[in-house]
């Protein structure tokens, strides 16, 4: 399986949202990434259910929702009902992480665990075989357009080794500052899914930018 590309709608032009979704539909992207922020877990608010519903209405790619919110268990069913197929919750936000993951999977979605940059990789040891993907934040969550944290390469390698030691089929997703300049190194380190926002939607040719990432 080649690398999967997930354009982040946080960087899209919300004044032309349907056109932006259609662009992604017609590209080589594999997923549509949704950044959900509550202004509490992270210092920013992004968008909520009405926008997700609008995106879902036009999307022809699977929806990948990243919940940067406190107590995410409250909303798992609503995201499922909106058509989300990949749902990640933060390690730092879940008191009973195993229960949260099981709930997501019981509802028929792929369950992911997101890790902030400061969160040590070894903390996923006990759930390495209970989750479908690990989302490594390569910027501090909350805002788009931040600079890539260079230590993320080593973190990807450590988690890849941890998953391999446990014969886990869990995928590794990387989100934050991803571009064609660092994509190849991330894949070499073990990344399976690359989330990219500004490097796609801020380019002159977003379809080509997606293709460039897909074929690094």
Active site amino acids: 35, 175
What b/e sequence results for 108-125 when a residue is b if at least 16 CB atoms lie within 10 Å of its CB, and e otherwise?
ebbbbbbbbeebebeebe
As a dihedral over the C-alpha atoms of residue 194, residue 199, residue 201, residue 203, rounded to 10 degrees, the angle is -140
Instruction: Provide the phi-psi class of 133: left if phi over 0, else alpha when psi is between -120 and 50, else beta.
Output: beta
């Amino acid at each position: 399986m080649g690398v999967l590309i997930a354009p982040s709608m946080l960087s899209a032009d919300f004044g032309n949202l349907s056109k932006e979704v259609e662009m992604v539909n017609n590209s080589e992207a594999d997923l549509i990434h949704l950044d959900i922020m509550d202004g509490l877990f992270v210092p920013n608010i992004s968008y909520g259910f009405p926008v997700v519903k609008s995106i879902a209405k036009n999307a022809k790619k699977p929806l990948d929702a990243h919940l940067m919110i406190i107590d995410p268990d409250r909303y798992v069913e609503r995201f499922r009902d909106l058509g989300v197929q990949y749902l990640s919750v933060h390690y730092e936000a879940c008191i009973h992480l195993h229960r949260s993951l099981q709930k997501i999977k019981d509802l028929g979605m792929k369950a992911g665990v997101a890790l902030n940059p400061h969160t040590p990789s070894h903390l996923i040891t006990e759930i390495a075989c209970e989750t479908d993907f690990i989302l490594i934040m390569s910027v501090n969550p909350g805002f788009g357009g931040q600079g890539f944290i260079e230590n993320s390469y080593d973190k990807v390698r450590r988690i890849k080794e941890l998953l391999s030691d446990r014969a886990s089929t869990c995928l590794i997703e990387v989100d934050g500052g991803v571009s064609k300049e660092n994509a190849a190194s991330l894949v070499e380190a073990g990344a399976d899914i690359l989330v990219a926002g500004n490097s796609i939607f801020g380019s002159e040719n977003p379809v080509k930018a997606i293709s460039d990432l897909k074929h690094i």
